[in-house]
């Protein structure tokens, strides 16, 4: 299913050779599911991104997931995979790891061990080891919002003790290296490397606000992929909204139809 393009999307399609498409993964390409490990992109998402990569200067997936997870779920030729909010990127076969992430490896290990021990008392809360960062998930707790309030304090304390930073998302808190950047830095770097100043940035979550802000002064469309959990701050910054991953894929499909060589 493709959506009809409005003027802004038609202009983007015309500018494809000098424009980028930057998509978040969870909530944009893949529906949110209770078990994050079970998340899968919608059927056809990888093929669609690969089609767009033949026309656009840059097509990238910028996610909080490890690059290895993205690579295992999106076999899309020509699409750049940026993981852990920019801490790692798949270049050819091997991941490129940011210096800030290498320097913080030992502190991340210690934070991981402390968090695993601390969350044991709270049912349904679990720790995801992302190697270069640590995520604490609250979605499977009996009362996820209560668990997140409880866990936020815990995670913040551990991060401060280890000189690390905290990134919050949908029922998840993540401990990250200081100076490791965010999705905004990642998108800005990709655009700078490609020498482009316009494109489309799509996100659904608090972690995507930085990416929206990074392109605020540029000729970029900010697409909020909405759900019942959409943060107000994201919606306020959006140039257009689409309903869920299905809506976003329909938008991408319209763009691909308009740009296919």
| Closer by beta carbon to Mg ion, 16 or else 251 | 251
The interface mask with Mg ion, positions 20-39, x = CB under 5 A, is ----x-xx------------
Q: Is 220 helix (H, G, I), strand (E, B) or coil?
A: strand
Name which position in 204, 230, 237, 242 contacts Mg ion (CB under 5 A). 204
182 part of the interface to Mg ion, by CB under 5 A:
no
Backbone angles phi, psi at 78, to 5 degrees: 80, 0
For 89, residues 6+ apart whose C-beta sits below 8 A from its C-beta are 67, 80, 81, 82, 83, 95, 96
Q: State the CB neighbour count (10 A cutoff) for residue 165.
A: 18
Among the candidate windows 66-74, 123-131, 187-195, 202-210, which touches Mg ion by CB under 5 A?
A: 202-210
| Closer by beta carbon to Mg ion, 20 or else 245 | 245
| Closer by beta carbon to Mg ion, 113 or else 128 | 128
- Quickly tell me which residue has 């002064």 as its tokens: 217
Residue nearest to Mg ion (CB): 27
88 part of the interface to Mg ion, by CB under 5 A:
no
Among the candidate windows 141-149, 184-192, 204-212, 238-246, which touches Mg ion by CB under 5 A?
A: 204-212
For 173, residues 6+ apart whose C-beta sits below 8 A from its C-beta are 135, 136, 138, 148, 151, 152, 155, 156, 166, 167
Please, what is the minimum distance in Å from the beta carbon of residue 105 to Mg ion? 25
| Closer by beta carbon to Mg ion, 24 or else 182 | 24
Pair 32, 64: CB distance under 8 Å: no
- Catalytic member of 6, 24, 75, 208: 24
For 106, residues 6+ apart whose C-beta sits below 8 A from its C-beta are none
Please, what is the minimum distance in Å from the beta carbon of residue 30 to Mg ion? 8
Q: Is 45 helix (H, G, I), strand (E, B) or coil?
A: helix
Residue 74 has which token pair? 């999106």
Catalytic residues: 24
| Interface with Mg ion (CB under 5 A) | 24, 26-27, 204-205
């Amino acid at each position: 299913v493709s959506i009809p393009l409005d003027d802004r999307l038609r202009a983007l399609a015309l500018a494809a050779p000098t424009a980028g498409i930057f998509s978040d993964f969870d909530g944009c390409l893949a529906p949110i599911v209770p078990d994050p490990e079970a998340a899968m992109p919608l059927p056809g998402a990888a093929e669609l991104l690969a089609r767009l990569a033949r026309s656009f200067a840059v097509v990238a997936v910028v996610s909080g997931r490890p690059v290895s997870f993205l690579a295992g779920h999106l076999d899309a030729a020509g699409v750049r995979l940026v993981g852990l909010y920019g801490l790692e990127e798949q270049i050819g076969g091997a991941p490129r790891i940011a210096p800030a992430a290498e320097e913080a490896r030992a502190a991340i290990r210690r934070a991981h061990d402390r968090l695993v021990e601390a969350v044991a008392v709270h049912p349904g809360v679990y720790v995801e080891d992302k190697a270069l960062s640590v995520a604490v998930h609250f979605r499977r707790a009996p009362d996820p919002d209560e668990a997140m309030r409880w866990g936020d304090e815990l995670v913040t304390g551990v991060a401060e003790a280890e000189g690390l930073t905290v990134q919050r998302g949908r029922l998840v808190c993540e401990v990250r290296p200081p100076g490791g950047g965010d999705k905004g830095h990642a998108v800005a770097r990709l655009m700078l490397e490609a020498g482009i100043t316009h494109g489309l940035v799509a996100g659904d979550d608090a972690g995507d606000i930085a990416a929206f802000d990074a392109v605020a002064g540029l000729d970029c469309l900010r697409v909020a992929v909405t759900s019942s959990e959409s943060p107000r701050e994201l919606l306020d910054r959006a140039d257009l909204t689409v309903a869920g991953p299905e809506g976003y894929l329909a938008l991408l499909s319209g763009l691909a139809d308009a740009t296919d060589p």
